[in-house]
Amino acid sequence: MPAELIDGAAVAKKVRAEVGERCKALAARGVVPGLTVVLVGDDGGSAVYVRNKEKASHEVGMNGATIRMPATTTQTELLAVVDRLNADKAVHGILVQMPLPKQIDPQAVIRRIAAAKDVDGFHPVNVGKVLIGERDGFAPCTPAGVQVLLQEYGVETAGKHVVIIGRSNIVGKPMAALLVQPGPGGDATVTICHSKTPDLAWHTKRADIVIAAVGRPGTVTGEMLKPGAVVIDVGTTRIVDPSAKSGMRLMGDVDFASVSQVASKVTPVPGGVGPMTIAMLLRNTVRAAEQAS
């Protein structure tokens, strides 16, 4: 039987509706959650992401704003903007869109954002809180969104073996930190694989849940899976496709045709993990506003 599709767009809509209600409750107390995104340079992909974030924040009743800075911006100039936003009481969430131009050290910028406004969840304080299981920190949006998808689709993680492919600071590592915590959505046994892992299939064949966050189409095929495994495809690779209206197409890491014949549930690309990332950003922002007021 073909795998059930995990509909990220539908779950994201539900999360956004819940965030909208929380925004209304805050508005009744005279607080409008503020999310400011800083975009440095003119990377086309980043500009689209930033536009989508601003639009989504307005839709739930937030004050969404974007500060656009030229590609020649110095680190000192960017840090000065971050300092100003840290001090602004109307701004509850700050997000500096990555990647940054090469003259700017991204870690220096991330460390400068006040941890209480770091709704991306990349500040070392929030990374540490996620690892030790303190729930007042902010978890990075993509892995947090994956955890919500699993819960919404009734996928048990307790006692299950999860294989994560990819060890980045924004997806793989925080994903492992979330799933290994005791409690709902956690209690999993987690294996993290990466480019130096010999025989990836040896690991994935033993997994109840496979989460692919690599950025390489075709990384996971049906024959690498245990029958009935749940497969989450985080990967997004833009490939040229003359038949598409935009001339481009998004591809995940998963070979959907073969995987959907073996897995019990699978996320599509697009429409799986992607919509959850923005929804979780909004959820982090409303919580930042609640915690600040």
Binding site for ligand NAP (CB under 6 A): 142, 165-168, 170-172, 193-197, 200, 213-216, 234-237, 273-274, 277
**Minimum CB distance to ligand NAP smaller for 74 or for 202:** 202
Which phi and psi angles does 116 have, rounded to 5°?
-70, -15
- Shortest Å distance, C-beta 45 to ligand NAP: 9
**Minimum CB distance to ligand NAP smaller for 216 or for 226:** 216
Determine the Cα–Cα distance for residues 216 and 237; give it in Å rounded to an integer. 7
**Minimum CB distance to ligand NAP smaller for 16 or for 167:** 167
Beta-bridge partner residues of 37:
66, 95
Amino acid (1-letter code) at residue 118: D
3-state secondary structure of 237: strand
Determine the Cα–Cα distance for residues 121 and 277; give it in Å rounded to an integer. 12
Instruction: Go through 244-270 and write b for each residue having 16 or more CB atoms within 10 A of its CB, e for each that does not.
Output: eeeeeebbbbbbbebbbebbbbbbbbe
**Minimum CB distance to ligand NAP smaller for 25 or for 202:** 202
Determine the Cα–Cα distance for residues 122 and 102; give it in Å rounded to an integer. 19
Write down the catalytic residue from 24, 42, 75, 97.
Answer: 97
- Shortest Å distance, C-beta 158 to ligand NAP: 25
Annotated active-site residue 97? The verdict is yes
- Asked if residues 268 and 235 have their Cβ atoms less than 8 Å apart, the reply is no
Which phi and psi angles does 150 have, rounded to 5°?
-60, -45
**Minimum CB distance to ligand NAP smaller for 158 or for 201:** 201
For the chain, where are the E strands, in sequence order? 4-5, 34-40, 63-69, 93-96, 161-165, 189-193, 209-212, 230-233, 237-240, 248-251, 265-266
- Shortest Å distance, C-beta 173 to ligand NAP: 9
- Shortest Å distance, C-beta 188 to ligand NAP: 19
Write down the catalytic residue from 118, 120, 233, 255.
Answer: 120
Annotated active-site residue 103? The verdict is no
Write down the catalytic residue from 53, 117, 129, 160.
Answer: 53
Annotated active-site residue 120? The verdict is yes
- Shortest Å distance, C-beta 84 to ligand NAP: 28
Determine the Cα–Cα distance for residues 8 and 194; give it in Å rounded to an integer. 25
- Shortest Å distance, C-beta 83 to ligand NAP: 27
Instruction: Go through 199-218 and write b for each residue having 16 or more CB atoms within 10 A of its CB, e for each that does not.
Output: ebeebbeebbbbbbbbbebe
**Minimum CB distance to ligand NAP smaller for 36 or for 277:** 277
Please identify every residue annotated as catalytic. 53, 97, 120
